[in-house]
A and B are shown apart, each in its own frame.
Chain A
Amino acid sequence: MDTPYAIEMLNITKKFPGIIANDNITLQLKRGEIHALLGENGAGKSTLMSVLFGLYQPEEGVIKKDGKEVKINDPNDANDLGIGMVHQHFKLVECFTVLDNIILGVEPNKHGVLQKEEARKKVIALSKKYGLMVDPDAKIEDITVGMQQRTEILKMLYRENEILIFDEPTAVLTPQEIDELMQIMRNLKAEGKSILFISHKLAEIMAVADRCTILRKGKYIGTVETAKTTAQELSSLMVGRNVNFHIEKKPQKLGDVVLEVENMTVASKSHNNNAVKNVSLKVRAGEIVCLAGIDGNGQTEFVHGLTGLEPLVSGTVKLKGQDITKAPIRKRNTSGMSHIPEDRHKHGLVLDYSLENNLVLETYFEPEYTSPAGFLKKDNIRKTAERLIKEFDVRSGQGPVTIARAMSGGNQQKAIIAREIDKDPDLLVAVQPTRGLDVGAIEFVHKQLIDRRDSGKAVLLVSLELDEVMDVPDRILVMYEGEIVGEFDPKKTTQEELGLYMAGAKRMEVKA
């Protein structure tokens, strides 16, 4: 114990054919510190963590635990060394209780008979100690995302892990829950746990981390103490250039109504109530309207109703004055509506198709790409793909023929955005377009949305990120339990005020 470091990854190099994912990266986590790992998508954070968990073996470099070199061959080795991780997507059994999930894999038993009482006591003690309030007997499917995350943290604590890794833990949380998580992390640190915090949200890193290691394109950029730096400096280290946080918008030139939704009601798939109740709204040319709210308040269903993925129970949708309530999706796509979907893997891409095939997913049937006899004009598809890849800076291993699955999340999203914006739509429906993206990519997406607005087109943005809600749109509509409960001018409101409406504490009458 003569070293201050709990875990050290020294000069790690991990190569894949065509790419060096980690190029001589060093990460030293001190005992009892919160250490942030910052980097854009594709910077090599996931690879580095996979190396730590023994999922990949590095070509070069060593890993040391308490100063002693260790060999990690699989996740079990990592577990034995006291390394635990809260994944971005929780690994919980939905129909099990919190307690069952916590003891899963390390069930206390006597001759094969479960001894849950003992485990329950331990879990309750742990949750008191660290301020992790969660009911051990509640089922995972019934509790909030924040509580599910606490269950994951308890899982690590129950296993007496000393090194806790949080992989983008705030992506799924509400602002209040984020504050709570920050406090929990501070508590853990106070109890001597070492925390590695993977994130690209600078404000959170500044708020909670002691030190921060920055990766860029697989390379080690540096480790800085957060007390001696600024968010601006961190972001330029991460992206490699200065990032413009301020969003420049031209003065607004409002045009005609492009989208008019009247009394839309959409059924819910998960419960008997309607997910969207009698919603009316208008979006005009030259404006960005943001539909804000906490996840699961009917935004998804509203968009599905609007874009034709789900049928309406009642109500009408008009695009440029034309009634498209019952129009098939193809008709909507070709008459001026573009849709950047919420779930890019489910709806946005055919993951096993090449990038070029994905880029013409909504235009392949046009005469430009299909001959009258029904043959694809592959040359034209290639040309379009190459143009879009260049214009939107979509990066991939092999260009147009790269399989979409092999691309990083940010570039997959860029590909979708390229495809949707290239159609020059009158109305762009963008649902959480920056989810999971890093600062550089977010800046890019926001610029694209604002370009649409400035060129006199309409944008409907659906977002859960309060920063985005405040910065990008011209008008905010807050959705709560399937209804629009407030309309705001982002210049004249605050995050706190929006929060009250989003949580259902306040509401006002809104006329479309």
Chain B
Amino acid sequence: MKKEITRTNILKKPGVQSLISSLICIILGLFIAFIVLLIINPSGAFTSIMNVIKNFLWFKNPSSRLKYFGETLVKTVPLLMCALAVLFSYKVGLFNIGTPGQYCAGTCAALYAALKWQWGWVPCVLFAIIAGALLASIVGVLKAYLNVNEVISGIMLNWITLYFTNATLTAVKNPSSKDTLTIATVNKAALLPKIGLDKVFNDKYVTIAIPIAIIIAVIIMIILDKTKFGYELKATGINKDAAKYCGMMEKTNIIITLVISGALAGLGAAFYYLTDFEQWAVTQSTVPAMGFNGIAATFLGGLNPIGTIFASYFIQHITAGGAFVDLTKYSSQITDLISALIIYLCGFVLFMKTFMNNMIKKSDAKHHVKEFNINDEGGKK
């Protein structure tokens, strides 16, 4: 009996619940991906799904492993920043689905400043932050003053920003390809400093961005949980009218929230493209998936900034791992399909949590109710 009580108590902790539901979603996602592989071609399914899970561990050589681990981290940074952008606004009751657009704006600003104006990395990063923030502020102003739904205006702006970015970055395009020039060839000063991390990981793309991104996640958590600022923002997000009633500047708070969210997304773009790991293809006709995957990472991370760090890493891990699916047995799109399936399942974390809570409540009602007394009222509306 005693054992059972402790078990239930642990399960009741929101943190534990988030962790368990995230893990369940991951396992379910992998399982469904496995089934899909089985259906397409049973012979390679098991090795392929194991390769997806292993990612860089697939390599036998430790230094290659480290290098690919580093590269997964490089790709984790922008995703983490986008996830934090989504999380921050979500905690304040706003769904910033404009994150991909703000990420685009950050890319545009960072690359243009780096390649065209030959700025150093610090101003490039700041410029990207400002670009993301400005774009998000449009959504914020519309929401605060005209009550335009942030999802609608956010999605619309995504596409506008994408084509604006394509048009602008054509000016710094490599003449012989569809990609922008590499920063290393044009303006080395715009590359993010590596502070020796590149040597540790044996990979030139590993930069200061990784530790900073983690620090930012921690800062976001502190702001939301511990500060007056977070208290105000969350109150505004949950109940705008009550925020107004108690004298908060509810309109300003909505705008500030989106500005911060956009700034995070813009920063994420700078942290990625200023490593030179990837160039922007000016012919692309879809908004980068980074912003949308940020939504999945937010939920997979249990809406917790620290959880988001691991969730972002996991998503990039399996996305990279998708590349190791045996392509002699499967078509090349399978890589994306597998990671998409798993990411999709990540969105079910909240559902899992609710499901789990209901289970706990039911078993509680059965086993423990006799121990409670009725000193208190309430708890049932």
A interface residues with partner B (beta carbon < 8 Å): 15-21, 23, 41-43, 46-47, 59, 217-219, 307, 309, 328-334, 339, 341, 346-353, 357, 361-362, 364-365, 369-370, 374-376, 378, 395-397, 402, 405-409, 411
When distances are taken between beta carbons in the complex, the residues of chain A under 8 Å from B361 are: 17
Least CB separation from A328: chain B residue:
B247
The answer on a CB contact under 8 Å between A395 and B378 is: yes
Specify which of A21, A307, A362, A370 is in contact with B380 (CB 8 Å cutoff).
Answer: A21
Closest 3 CB pairs of A and B: A330-B247, A42-B377, A397-B379
The answer on a CB contact under 8 Å between B374 and A361 is: no
Determine the distance from Cα of A23 to Cα of B377 in the docked complex, in whole angstroms. Answer: 13
The answer on a CB contact under 8 Å between B247 and A17 is: no
Q: Mark B352-370, 1 if CB is under 8 A from A, else 0.
A: 0000000001001100110
The answer on a CB contact under 8 Å between B379 and A375 is: no
Q: A361-B246, A375-B227 are in contact. Are A351 and B238 (CB under 8 A)?
A: yes
25 A-B pairs in the complex with CB atoms less than 8 angstroms apart: A16-B369, A17-B368, A17-B372, A19-B376, A20-B369, A20-B373, A46-B381, A59-B369, A331-B247, A339-B245, A346-B239, A349-B242, A350-B239, A350-B243, A353-B234, A364-B231, A375-B228, A376-B226, A376-B227, A378-B226, A395-B376, A395-B377, A397-B376, A402-B378, A406-B379
The answer on a CB contact under 8 Å between A396 and B378 is: yes
User: Which B213-242 residues have a C-beta within 8 angstroms of A?
Assistant: 226-229, 231-232, 234-235, 238-239, 241-242
Tally of contact residues, B, Cβ under 8 A: 32
When distances are taken between beta carbons in the complex, the residues of chain A under 8 Å from B231 are: 357, 364, 376
The answer on a CB contact under 8 Å between A17 and B245 is: no
Determine the distance from Cα of A332 to Cα of B244 in the docked complex, in whole angstroms. Answer: 12
The answer on a CB contact under 8 Å between B246 and A374 is: no
Determine the distance from Cα of A407 to Cα of B381 in the docked complex, in whole angstroms. Answer: 7
* Distance in Å: Cβ of B359 to nearest Cβ of chain A: 13
The answer on a CB contact under 8 Å between B229 and A374 is: yes
Task: Count A/B pairs, Cβ under 8 Å.
Answer: 133
Determine the distance from Cα of A81 to Cα of B372 in the docked complex, in whole angstroms. Answer: 34
Beyond A18-B376, A350-B235, A396-B379, 7 additional contacts (C-beta under 8 Å) are A15-B369, A17-B372, A19-B376, A21-B380, A332-B247, A362-B247, A406-B380
Specify which of A17, A334, A351, A378 is in contact with B239 (CB 8 Å cutoff).
Answer: A351
* Distance in Å: Cβ of B29 to nearest Cβ of chain A: 29
The answer on a CB contact under 8 Å between B378 and A375 is: no
Q: A15-B369, A375-B226, A376-B228 are in contact. Are A348 and B235 (CB under 8 A)?
A: no
When distances are taken between beta carbons in the complex, the residues of chain A under 8 Å from B365 are: 15-17, 59
Determine the distance from Cα of A174 to Cα of B188 in the docked complex, in whole angstroms. Answer: 78
The answer on a CB contact under 8 Å between B245 and A341 is: yes
Determine the distance from Cα of A409 to Cα of B378 in the docked complex, in whole angstroms. Answer: 9
Determine the distance from Cα of A378 to Cα of B230 in the docked complex, in whole angstroms. Answer: 13
Least CB separation from B366: chain A residue:
A59
When distances are taken between beta carbons in the complex, the residues of chain A under 8 Å from B374 are: 19-20, 23, 217-219
Least CB separation from B245: chain A residue:
A347
The answer on a CB contact under 8 Å between B378 and A407 is: yes
* Distance in Å: Cβ of B147 to nearest Cβ of chain A: 14
Determine the distance from Cα of A362 to Cα of B242 in the docked complex, in whole angstroms. Answer: 10
Most chain A CB atoms below 10 A, which of B232, B241, B365, B368? B241
User: Which B26-75 residues have a C-beta within 8 angstroms of A?
Assistant: none
Determine the distance from Cα of A328 to Cα of B373 in the docked complex, in whole angstroms. Answer: 46
The answer on a CB contact under 8 Å between B242 and A370 is: no
* Distance in Å: Cβ of A125 to nearest Cβ of chain B: 39
Determine the distance from Cα of A79 to Cα of B379 in the docked complex, in whole angstroms. Answer: 28
The answer on a CB contact under 8 Å between A353 and B235 is: yes
Least CB separation from B230: chain A residue:
A376
Determine the distance from Cα of A47 to Cα of B380 in the docked complex, in whole angstroms. Answer: 8
Least CB separation from A351: chain B residue:
B239
* Distance in Å: Cβ of B17 to nearest Cβ of chain A: 15
* Distance in Å: Cβ of A290 to nearest Cβ of chain B: 22
The answer on a CB contact under 8 Å between A19 and B372 is: yes
The answer on a CB contact under 8 Å between A370 and B239 is: no
Specify which of B226, B246, B377 is in contact with A411 (CB 8 Å cutoff).
Answer: B377
The answer on a CB contact under 8 Å between B241 and A347 is: yes
